[in-house]
Amino acid sequence: MKLPVIRQFYQTQTVENLEKTLEVLEAFSEFRGTTEEDLNVAGELITNICGALEVHANVAAGMPEKDALNTFAQKVLGSIDR
């Protein structure tokens, strides 16, 4: 998870574009020939895209962008600590 990447995705991409890209990456991850390195890269991108989608949703609900980004980061860090 990289907050600068999530911020960039949020600021430059629509929800629709992010959702379509997420679908492609998830399908790519299921290919039999996908290497471990490919899966790591795809997983990182998927995490960042999901973060951008969550930021879009939180901002649409009235949360400031900075708070939405920090909320997602805390959510991810909190799930790692468990």
**Per-residue model confidence (pLDDT) at position 1:** 83
Q: How many angstroms separate the CA atoms of 62 and 41, rounded?
A: 32
**Per-residue model confidence (pLDDT) at position 76:** 82
Report pLDDT digits (tens) over 25-64. 999 999 999 999 999 999 999 999 999 999 999 999 999 9
Instruction: Compute and round to an integer the Cα radius of gyration of the chain.
Output: 13
pLDDT at 80 over 90: no
Domain-wise residue ranges, the chain? 3-77
Report pLDDT digits (tens) over 53-75. 999 999 999 999 999 999 998 88
Q: pTM, whole model, 2 decimals?
A: 0.88
**Per-residue model confidence (pLDDT) at position 81:** 60
